Structure 1
Amino acid sequence: MSVLVLMAAILFLLMILIGGKKGARSFIALFLNFGVLFLTILFMTDPNVDPITLTVISSTVISCITLFYINEVNRKTTAAFISTIITIVISLFFIVIVTENSMIQGFGEEEIEELSMFSIYIGVDFVKVGAAMIIMSTIGAITDVAISIASPMREISHHNPLISRKDLFTFGLSIGKDILGTNTNTLFFAFFGGYLALIIWFKDLSYSIGEIVNSKVFSVEMITILCAGIGIALVIPITSLITAYFFVKTRE
């Protein structure tokens, strides 16, 4: 416990030194978002609650905290927020279809032994839970890309007030192209970092490449990464378009 407190204190100090008041708000936002996630998981175990609806609500709240609480309410954060919600709704339909057809809901055989003592007949739609899990895994990346595009677009609009909507949109796309590759790689390496022990376990059990790829545990994570990548790719033109419309509209 002392290690956790020490690491949290170091993170807090660094965020204060580098980010000032915004860094302090960012640190508090971590705990606020954790609270939202905790409540989401708590309510999701209720059979009477629709996991998809709950996920959309919680994603909206997380986006509000991440964008409006940290960066305050302005045209930049409003454009990023609208872009995030639109991307989530579009991604949601795609993710539900992928989850249903890939049959990745539930637990893999590698997890059955640990869960054998529990009853899984809890009346919860695991397809929707699986889709909700993927959405919750992508919300951070989508929000990050949205604000990363809207912020420099706001700056270029401020310093070049005569820029056309088309040129501002093109500028946003140009930024998005640079972000796309790095964020996708971040998601990919985050998976391997988090599941390195699982990969080593696959090797010790002499799993073939085919068995690894077809393993539900591996497939869930790879599909999550791919869905997150698709979400990142979608939010780039959406944010560029909405932000360009917002900033040029206010000049008219």
Structure 2
Amino acid sequence: MNALVLLGIILYVLMRWIGGEKGSRSFFALFLNFIVLFFTIIFMINPHFNPIILTVVACVIISCINLFYINEINIKTVTAFVSSIITISILLVVIVLVTDRAMIQGFSEEEINEIAVFSIYLGVDFVKIGASVIIMSTIGAITDIAISISSPMHEMIKHHPSIKKRELFLSGITIGRDLLGTSANTLFFAFFGGYLALLIWFKDLDYSIGQIANSKVFSAEMITIFSAGIGVALVIPLTAWITATVFIKQREKNESVN
């Protein structure tokens, strides 16, 4: 049996056993997200399509899959979705500006040797492509943090219906602070784990610390990590405020009806 198939079966069995129906949906959501990314990449190759617009559309679809398909449509997922999209919109502007000023678009010197036999005149805007790649790398973490804050806040107002808006908001901030450190470190090690071979290559080529820090491929990776961290930090207060506002208004509406 193919190793990939075997690992996929083990993953599904564990997710089904531990997560039940939601675990199964989470497993199939992986394939749905892959399909979205696959078609996004295909359209990005076409110079007639704007990569930034494609990225926004893809982020909206991925957010819907991760939130609504897995957790169904409810007040928790709606607030998490709105918070995620607002965060992505803010982050997208920042990333486009940083990518352009840092000049990390395109291929690095370390990568160019491997593709020297191919033409690099593709007719696409590599600044926008680079920004799109960074955004795609952050969307999963942002939606994860958003629902991780919204869901506990829903339980809090459910068990403490008289809680004030400020207290509910501060509770969301407290939850977010606990998630911030672990999420930032998770992103850091995930990206660096993927580029461990590159770091070994730097060592074999006797790169100095200055050469490593100024190399395009290393700078692009660090900007991705920092951008993901900024997105995670931004979504915490946004989710806490939006969730507190929506939940309190919903409570007041229910009280007025009763």
Whether these two folds match at TM > 0.5 is: yes
The equivalent residue for 1:215 is 215
Name the CA distance, whole Å, in 1 between partners of 2:197 and 2:234. 32
Q: Distance in 2 between matches of 1:251 and 1:199?
A: 53
**Counterpart in the other structure of 2:255:** none
- 1:45 shift after superposition: 0.3
Distance 2:32 2:169 in 1: 33
TM-score by length of 2: 0.97
- What is the 5 A alignment of 1:52-63? 52-63=52-63
Which residue type is aligned with residue 15 of structure 2? M
Equivalent residue, structure 2, for 1:39:
39
- Counterpart in 1 of 2:256? none
Output the amino acid matched with 1:94: V
User: C-alpha separation between the residues in 2 aligned to 1:114 and 1:206?
Assistant: 20
**Aligned equivalents of 2:152, 2:228: Cα separation in 1:** 23
The equivalent residue for 2:153 is 153
Find the aligned partners of 1:95 and 1:162 in 2 and give their Cα distance: 41
- Report the equivalent of 1:228: 228
Percentage of identical aligned residues: 66
Task: Look up the equivalent residue of 1:245 and give its one-letter code.
Answer: T
2:185 maps to: 185
Shift in Å, 1:191: 1.8
1:112 matches 2:112: yes
User: Deviation of residue 26 (structure 1)?
Assistant: 0.2
Measured against aligned partners, the alpha-carbon deviations of 1:154-195 in whole angstroms (never above 9, x if no partner) come to 100110111111100000000011111100000111122111
> Which residue number in structure 2 is paired with residue 77 of structure 1?
77
SS at match of 2:120: coil
Query: 2:97 matched to 1:97?
Result: yes
Give CA-to-partner distance per residue, 1:51-83, whole Å, 9 cap, x none: 000000000000000000000000000000000
Partner residue in 2 for 1:140: 140
**SS of the residue aligned with 1:251?**
helix
Distance, in Å, in 1 between the alignment partners of 2:151 and 2:104 is 37
Distance 1:14 1:195 in 2: 28
> In the TM superposition, what are the counterparts of 1:9-24 in structure 2 within 5 Å?
9-24=9-24
Quote the offset at 1:139 in angstroms.
Answer: 0.3
Q: SS of the residue aligned with 2:49?
A: coil
- Unmatched 5+ stretches in structure 1: none
Instruction: Tell me what 2:165 maps to.
Output: 165
- TM-score of the pair, normalised by structure 1: 0.99
CA shift, 1:2, in A, is 0.5
Deviation, structure 1 residue 144: 0.6
RMSD: 0.7
Once the 2 structures are TM-superposed, how far is the Cα of residue 246 of structure 1 from its aligned partner? 1.0
Aligned to 2:121: 121
**Mapped partners of 1:143, 1:134: distance in 2:** 15
Q: In structure 2, what is the Cα distance between the partners aligned to 1:163 and 1:119?
A: 62
SS in 1 for 2:114: helix
Give the Cα separation in 2 of the matches to 1:87 and 1:208. 37
Q: Match of 2:251, SS?
A: coil
Amino acid at match of 1:197: A
Residues of 2 paired with 1:104 and 1:198: CA distance? 16
CA distance in 2, matches of 1:135, 1:210: 27
Looking at structure 1, the residues matched to 118 and 66 of structure 2 have their Cα atoms a distance apart, in angstroms, of 36
Amino acid at match of 1:86: I
SS at match of 2:122: coil
- Residue 135 of structure 1 and its aligned partner are, at CA, apart by 0.3
Q: 5+ unaligned residues in a row in structure 2: which ranges?
A: 253-258
Q: What's the offset of the Cα at 1:113?
A: 0.9
